[in-house]
Structure 1
């Protein structure tokens, strides 16, 4: 059974399952993150939804490129969690199934193309303090504690 982070599902709401792939990207003792700038700043692990017909790894590479413009290599799956959220950009109540990977940032080859996203580089402490959801934070804490 997948760990759940965040609020429990609300009674009477229909949730759409939204699988996604996200990356912990260590870069010289710091971490590449994305900040979604509106409607308020939300710091996240780079990644996003898995499109129909796409594998989690294909989605991971595509989403990291869209959100921070980096090519990544050697992704290794750490695990997964779920959370129940409202996604205002889609007007959708979602059960997000978040697959978490660790990957090596190879190089930045483009600017982010995802609207309202900015690339940021933070220390582990800064990342843990500002990550917008407890699931991302838990996996980053595990990564930092175990030196995976």
Structure 2
């Protein structure tokens, strides 16, 4: 059974399962995160949805690059959690199955490619408090 974080599912909504891959990118006492401006401004672990026909690791590399501009290496799975949420950019009620990895940030190749995202280095302790969802914070806090 996968642990749930956040709100319980609403009985009057139909949820679509949305698998995703997200990454903790530590370097020394800091970690690389993305700041997403829309729909709600928040710090997030880089990552996102696994597209149809795509493996979670391919999605992880793609999403981390799109949201931070950094290449990553040596991803290792830490665990997973589920959360129920409305995704306004897709007009979708989603049951997100979030698989969390840890990896090495290798080098910055470009600015973030995804509109409304910016890359930030935060102290790990600060990220553990500032990340926008409880599941992400849980996995970062486990590293501390």
Give the TM-score band, short-chain normalised: over 0.9
The question of whether the paired residues in 1 share the 8 Å contact of 2:26 and 2:124 is answered with: no
TM-score (normalizing by structure 2): 0.98
Task: Specify the alignment match of 1:110 in structure 2.
Answer: 110
Task: Report the Cα distance in structure 2 between the residues aligned to 1:137 and 1:34, rounded to whole angstroms.
Answer: 14
Asked if 1:15 corresponds to 2:15, the answer is yes
Task: Specify the alignment match of 1:62 in structure 2.
Answer: 62
Shift in Å, 1:39? 3.2
Runs of 4+ residues over 2 Å off in structure 1: none
Structural mapping, 1:67-106, within 5 Å:
67-106=67-106
Task: Report the Cα distance in structure 2 between the residues aligned to 1:19 and 1:40, rounded to whole angstroms.
Answer: 21
Shift in Å, 1:54? 0.6
Task: Report the Cα distance in structure 2 between the residues aligned to 1:73 and 1:128, rounded to whole angstroms.
Answer: 22
User: Any gaps of 5 or more consecutive residues in structure 2?
Assistant: none
Task: Report the Cα distance in structure 1 between the residues aligned to 2:94 and 2:40, rounded to whole angstroms.
Answer: 19
Task: Specify the alignment match of 2:29 in structure 1.
Answer: 29
Task: Report the Cα distance in structure 2 between the residues aligned to 1:140 and 1:107, rounded to whole angstroms.
Answer: 21
User: Any gaps of 5 or more consecutive residues in structure 1?
Assistant: none
CA deviations 1:27-60 (Å, max 9, x no partner) are 2210000010123311100000000111100000
Task: Report the Cα distance in structure 2 between the residues aligned to 1:10 and 1:21, rounded to whole angstroms.
Answer: 24
Task: Report the Cα distance in structure 2 between the residues aligned to 1:49 and 1:12, rounded to whole angstroms.
Answer: 24
Task: Report the Cα distance in structure 1 between the residues aligned to 2:9 and 2:116, rounded to whole angstroms.
Answer: 28
What count of residue pairs does the alignment treat as equivalent?
144
